[in-house]
Structure 1
């Protein structure tokens, strides 16, 4: 396995980087869309401008100058976690979440994922997140909400 480096980045200051993050995000959310049977995931349809406008802190996981995953948070909420499909099941998502947990100030951390996204749910649960509710955000589009209390 290749050594993964996780670094904080600012896509607003680096548009090519923003484009690379967006490409990973779109490919990752396309997998989630297939898992949950719904492609109305808002982050699947973001543009580079949308990504740069998000008021979040960013991390990327890189190996050999390739972005394999990215994550973002705002306040005490994980905003997004994406891993390139060819890098799934290599610990990249877990490593990104662990760095976010260490970076987030506060006692409670919240996250949501597709209710039917079993791999993401297993990841959050394995890290100690507790399922708090299911929420229908659009007709037929359900999220599973989680919370980690430290």
Structure 2
């Protein structure tokens, strides 16, 4: 089941915070860069991120989540996390589709991921996101930016 995460429910937010740490640790290992901002943020910083979150629940347990912001009808995906125990079950795909459907009025969808994060890049490309550019964010560490047109 996919549902919006209510940030007033501290227990759920704590579970989301823990899930994020586990998921981004795997990405850090994939791209060989351990300074990914979500790995460094405190719980208090996380609570104040100002992003909208959709959670994917299996038997009432949080297995994945996607977060985003919208500005000037452009949606930017901020976080896509799946618990490592639930990799390769299609959770990220389902979260991405649900987020796009719930925000079908957006003119564009944008996302960035580690250039070496092949599973994430494949997910976005499979869903018609177009690669735009790579940016070096630290020595030999690159982020790939993708975009998809929305309504028009």
TM over 0.5: yes
Partner of 1:29: 24
Partner of 2:59: 64
SS of the residue corresponding to residue 128 of structure 1 reads coil
Partner of 1:52: 47
Partner of 1:97: 96
Map of 1:1-150 to 2, 5 A cutoff?
Answer: 5-11=1-7, 13-75=8-70, 76-104=75-103, 105-150=105-150
Deviation digits for residues 92-131 of structure 1 (CA, Å, limit 9, x no counterpart)? 0001111111223322110000110000000000001000
In structure 1, stretches of 5+ residues that fail to align are none
How well do the aligned residues superpose, as a CA RMSD in angstroms? 1.1
| Contact 1:22–1:47 (8 Å) recurs in 2 | no
* Corresponding pairs, count: 145
User: What is the distance in 2 between the residues matched to 1:60 and 1:45?
Assistant: 21
- TM-score (structure 1 length as normaliser): 0.92
SS of the residue corresponding to residue 106 of structure 1 reads coil
User: What is the distance in 2 between the residues matched to 1:63 and 1:78?
Assistant: 22
| Contact 1:27–1:84 (8 Å) recurs in 2 | yes
In structure 2, stretches of 5+ residues that fail to align are none
User: What is the distance in 2 between the residues matched to 1:53 and 1:88?
Assistant: 27
